[in-house]
């Protein structure tokens, strides 16, 4: 699922003529983000979850990372198979079909 999400994000940028920097991030204390997109001098942290039931805990690592990275972070996103909506603390969940099939 993660590979699909990364590929689709990359394709979206390429089709619009842009080439952002994309990374996987894992800190020394174990926090991770499946995809970090550096675009327009801001970081967009993305977590891919194949679950149909997304909970606020699925965005917890993104929240902690954003506290460490502070003003460099522009968005915190979980992409899943669940219904799109807020997870709290500024983290948003988007259903993969809402993002990539439009």
Kindly tell me the burial class for residue 100, based on how many C-beta atoms sit within 10 Å of its own C-beta (0-12, 13-18, 19 or more). Answer: middle
pLDDT class of 57 with cuts at 50, 70, 90: very high
Q: How many Å apart are CA 5 and CA 11, to the nearest integer?
A: 10
Whether 102 has a pLDDT exceeding 80, the answer reads no
Which string of b and e fits 33-63 if b means at least 16 CB within 10 Å?
A: bbbbbeeeeebbbbbbbeeeebeeebbbbbb
pLDDT at 100: 84
Radius of gyration of the CA atoms of the chain, in A: 13
β-strand 42-48 against 73-80: which pairing, if any?
parallel
pLDDT class of 29 with cuts at 50, 70, 90: very high
User: What's the angle, vertex CA 48, arms to CA 40 and CA 54, rounded to 5?
Assistant: 120
Q: How many Å apart are CA 27 and CA 17, to the nearest integer?
A: 31
């Amino acid at each position: 699922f993660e590979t699909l999400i990364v590929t689709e994000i990359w394709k979206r940028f390429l089709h619009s003529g842009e080439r952002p920097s994309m990374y996987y991030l894992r800190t020394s204390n174990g926090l991770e983000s499946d995809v970090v997109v550096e675009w327009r001098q801001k970081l967009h942290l993305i977590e891919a979850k194949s679950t149909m039931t997304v909970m606020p805990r699925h965005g917890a690592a993104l929240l902690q990372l954003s506290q460490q990275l502070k003003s460099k972070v522009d968005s915190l996103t979980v992409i899943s198979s669940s219904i799109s909506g807020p997870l709290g603390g500024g983290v948003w969940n988007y259903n993969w079909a809402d993002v990539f099939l439009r």
